[in-house]
Chains A and B, each alone.
Chain A
Amino acid sequence: MVFLPELTRAYRHNLNGSSLERGATQLEVKDVSLRFGGVQALEDVSLAVRQGGIHAVIGPNGAGKTSLLNCISGLYRPQRGSIALQNGKRHELTKARPSRIAKWGVARSFQNIELFKHMTVLENLMLGRHTHMRHNVLTALLYWGPAERQEIRERELVEEVVDFLELQAFRKQEVGRLSYGFQKRVELGRALCIQPAVLVLDEPMAGMNTEEKEDMARFILDVNELAGVTVVLIEHDMGVVMDISDRVTVLDFGRVIADGEPAQVSSDPAVIEAYLGEQRAA
């Protein structure tokens, strides 16, 4: 990897699961349409996520941002279109189970925290390693040989994520008892443990105060710049979006109304109209 190797030297594991060169198309969404009964949630949505970038998806409420993310992670199946992930080979995501998509390297966090709240922080992060482990009921029942060695091996990577996200103090605490901000951070950690090719974050800063937002923004930048992980995120805080992302796609009523660099998008008349309404002559 080309990303500032001198800074990542302390970590032995590479959290970036992609083998692509920086700038190559990692994830390609093409003409995706999703309909729930009479509601057209997405209509011919196309976008390309480049390896190594932070790609923000923005838009007013109900624009279809989360629906798009759910299509990418396999929770929804679009009626038309294709979503292709390049990781080793081309994977078509629209017809695969979510667990399969996770195995191919798409990790995500949820808008309303979906952690395993009765488990400890460590156990939650270890679940992020699930796809990298071989599971055998018999050795598990005996906690013998390969089962034990595997737990220890995966724990090493998990500890690096703990260190990376500064979660040392909470390792063995039940996540349900952590504050909202830390829960969001654990959820980011769990996704990171997958060693994702694409890290999909659904409103990672929703409901946070300024300080927590700054922390989260720093972690996302670290994940992207130090670990080289490609990030796709939905965010409502325009300041954050414009500051950290290097590409922005704007959705409105299920359609892409703008796509490009942050500066370019923020001055786009269609975007201004979608957010502020039509400008009227006085």
Chain B
Amino acid sequence: MSTITTGVYSRTYRQDFLLRRTWLERARLALVLLAIAVAPFLLSVYWLEVATQIAIAAIGAIGLNILVGFTGQISLGQGGFLAVGAFTAGLTAIHTGLNPLAGVALAGVVGAVVGGFFGLPALRLKGLYLAIATLASQVIITWSIIHLSFLGAAEPLAIVEPATVFGWTVSGTWEWFWVIAAFAAVAAVLATNLFRTGVGRAFVAIRDQDIAAEAVGVNVAGYKILAFALSSAFAGVAGALTAYRDTFLTWESFTFEISILYLAMIIVGGLGSVSGAIYGAAFIIGLQAFLQELGGNLQGSFPSVQENLPAIQQIIFGLTIVLFLIFEPRGLARIWQRSKDYLRLWPFRY
């Protein structure tokens, strides 16, 4: 539990429900927003690309955390739902002249429907059994993309039309970063709000004690499906953004490994925490990019490192996750919370 700032009193329940109560908290939020706004001026193109990928991954990870971290339904299918969103958006862009914003929204809706459908096994299965069932969704979705001829997606797709919204064509690394960062910010706000209300509480209730949840009147079956649908809607939006930004789509970018990667993000970041999903996305994508760059720099002096880079990456990856599980199962979000508490009390111990 975090230390509570003293001297903050509420006069109304509305005040008591506010997310940020002190000027310090508000200043911190303003700083983060400022950092995002000026990031393109400070980062190199390579790291700006990485930051954009982090923002996309954050949306998907927030979605997955709604399902796994908050509702307690383990899913190994997030990669599949990203693919659903990406291909919905890609095919919309290629076959109709629809506004990309509409394309993103459509991808969210289709993601929700497909996710809700693949959530049906959750009505009967729990824990590891459910994880295996969601693995099926991953396999079925990739198989469908390759084999259903009317999708025309066996070969990679290319979106020729640049993304144009109300006359403004999004182009260049900077603009894409801002657009996608804005989407990620909205996703974070929406998810945070969700857990301030009864719907979010019902999700957490199902995770903590599903029988009691049913006994206080939560329709457990309905809320499980809803959690799957919401989670996949976030994944759908993330997938759609990837499609519009990369303008090049292949099922190979949405394999089972991606699902595992997203699971790693929320474990490292912190299960059941919206900010944790963002930290996790930043950590995992950032770590990959860092190892990549490190490998490039070492190429001249240590050719063997360059050769074995994929293996080394895997090892470091596995190691980080194991270490997090052992030393801080509640992830980066918890570490951040603890450091805030420490600073708040500094220089006193308690």
Give Cα A164 to B276, complex, Å: 37
Q: Which of B24-32, B163-171, B205-213 contacts A (4 or more CB under 8 A)?
A: B205-213
Indicate whether B220 reaches chain A with its CB closer than 8 angstroms: yes
**In chain A, what residue has the closest Cβ to B211?**
A114
Indicate whether A147 reaches chain B with its CB closer than 8 angstroms: yes
Q: Which of B174-182, B190-198, B304-312, B321-329 contacts A (4 or more CB under 8 A)?
A: B190-198
Indicate whether B235 reaches chain A with its CB closer than 8 angstroms: no
Q: Contact at A143–B198, with CB atoms within 8 Å?
A: no
Q: Contact at A127–B226, with CB atoms within 8 Å?
A: no
Indicate whether A128 reaches chain B with its CB closer than 8 angstroms: yes
- Interface secondary structure of A, over-half rule: helix
Given contacts A73-B215, A148-B14, contact A114 B209 (CB under 8 A): yes
Q: Which of B16, B200, B208, B226 has the most CB of A within 10 A?
A: B208
Q: Contact at B218–A127, with CB atoms within 8 Å?
A: yes
- A116 touches which of B191, B196, B212, B230 (Cβ 8 Å): B212
Indicate whether A174 reaches chain B with its CB closer than 8 angstroms: yes
Cβ distance B72 to chain A, nearest Cβ, rounded Å: 10
Give Cα A117 to B204, complex, Å: 10
Interfacial chain B residues near A130, Cβ < 8 Å: 198, 201-202, 216-218
Q: Contact at B194–A140, with CB atoms within 8 Å?
A: yes
Give Cα A130 to B200, complex, Å: 11
Interfacial chain B residues near A102, Cβ < 8 Å: 214-217
Q: Contact at B215–A151, with CB atoms within 8 Å?
A: no
Interfacial chain B residues near A142, Cβ < 8 Å: 190, 193
Cβ distance A83 to chain B, nearest Cβ, rounded Å: 15
Give Cα A137 to B233, complex, Å: 12
Given contacts A119-B204, A133-B198, A151-B17, contact A140 B216 (CB under 8 A): no
Q: Which of A115-143 contact B (CB under 8 A)?
A: 115-119, 123, 126-131, 133, 135-137, 139-143
Interfacial chain B residues near A139, Cβ < 8 Å: 197
**In chain B, what residue has the closest Cβ to A133?**
B198
Interfacial chain B residues near A117, Cβ < 8 Å: 208-209
- A110 touches which of B212, B217, B272 (Cβ 8 Å): B212
Indicate whether A35 reaches chain B with its CB closer than 8 angstroms: no
Cβ distance B168 to chain A, nearest Cβ, rounded Å: 25
Indicate whether A75 reaches chain B with its CB closer than 8 angstroms: yes
Q: Contact at B217–A140, with CB atoms within 8 Å?
A: no
Q: Contact at A98–B197, with CB atoms within 8 Å?
A: no
With A123-B201, A127-B198 known, 13 other A-B pairs at CB within 8 A are: A102-B215, A114-B209, A116-B208, A116-B212, A119-B208, A123-B204, A130-B202, A130-B218, A139-B197, A140-B194, A140-B199, A155-B17, A174-B1
Q: What are 5 inter-chain pairs, A to B, with CB distance below 8 A?
A: A98-B215, A102-B214, A102-B216, A117-B208, A130-B198
The 3 closest A-B pairs by CB, nearest first: A102-B217, A131-B217, A143-B193
| Interfacial residues, chain A to chain B (CB-CB below 8 A) | 73, 75, 97-99, 102-103, 107-108, 110, 114-119, 123, 126-131, 133, 135-137, 139-143, 147-148, 150-152, 155-156, 172-174, 177, 190-191, 194
